[in-house]
Amino acid sequence: MSPETSALPGTVRPRGRTERVRQAVTDATRTLLLEQGYRELSVERVAEVAGVAKSTVYRRWRDTAGLLLELMTELSTGEIPLVDTGSVEEDLLSLARGIAHVYTETNAGPMVLALIAESVQNERVADGLREFWHHRNDRAAESVRRAIERGDLPADTDPVEVIRMLGAPFYYRMLVTHEPLDDDLARRAAATALAAARAGDLRKR
């Protein structure tokens, strides 16, 4: 019998305990990741900091990859606000500035970078990231879909590809060239994606 179902009826609500354990483990994973980096992350340390039995963490999350994937579900809930200004230029600039903000001013930056580093050698994390960004980019693509409906962009523009092109320069600088993310970059990234869409270079295949 698992700890989640062993409580007497009425003493602990099973869902409440499950959620409390999940929250404690997620908090511990985030804390350890930010303080010591993903290389030091282990199921043992997370269980210790969370005050949860190791066996529970192993059973539910299996390994550090599972713990990192759990963290992603938190990240996926609205870190970057999406706006609808009626202008695709403004919507995309706002998105680009939101990305720069998240990575320079919040804890999400180190967490996402840790996930990306892990994904290079961990197929489960790579799959998780693929899924995560698929949904995130699809949501952000709404602004491009509206622009197409308004006739502001070619009708066969690939909305998600515009968002990919906008996002790419940020990750390139963080991961590849290790150059800073600033407002110039946000403006260039938004303008570049839009120029390519307008020129018809980002049509559906």
Interface segment toward a second copy; rule CB under 8 A; list 24-32, 57-65, 86-94, 110-118: 110-118
Residues 6 or more apart from 25 whose CB is under 8 A from it?
46, 47, 50, 52, 57, 60, 61, 67, 70
CB of 77 to a second copy, least distance (A): 19
CB of 150 to a second copy, least distance (A): 20
Please, where are the H alpha helices in the chain?
3-6, 14-36, 43-50, 54-61, 64-75, 88-105, 108-119, 123-140, 142-149, 159-171, 183-198
Q: Out of 49, 116, 124, 145, name the contact with a second copy by CB under 8 A.
A: 116
For a second copy, the binding residues in 26-65 under the rule CB under 8 A are 37-39
Contact 92, 147 (CB under 8 A): no
Q: With binding defined as CB under 8 A, does residue 114 bind a second copy?
A: yes
Interface segment toward a second copy; rule CB under 8 A; list 83-91, 97-105, 127-135, 140-148: 127-135
CB of 42 to a second copy, least distance (A): 14
- How many Å separate Cα 103 from the centre of its chain? 11
Q: With binding defined as CB under 8 A, does residue 193 bind a second copy?
A: yes
Name the residue type at position 205: R
Tell me the β-bridge partners of 157: 203
Chain positions contacting a second copy, by CB under 8 A: 37-39, 113-114, 116-121, 126-127, 129-130, 133-134, 137, 161, 164-165, 167-169, 171-173, 175-179, 184, 188, 191-193, 195-196, 198-199, 201-202, 205
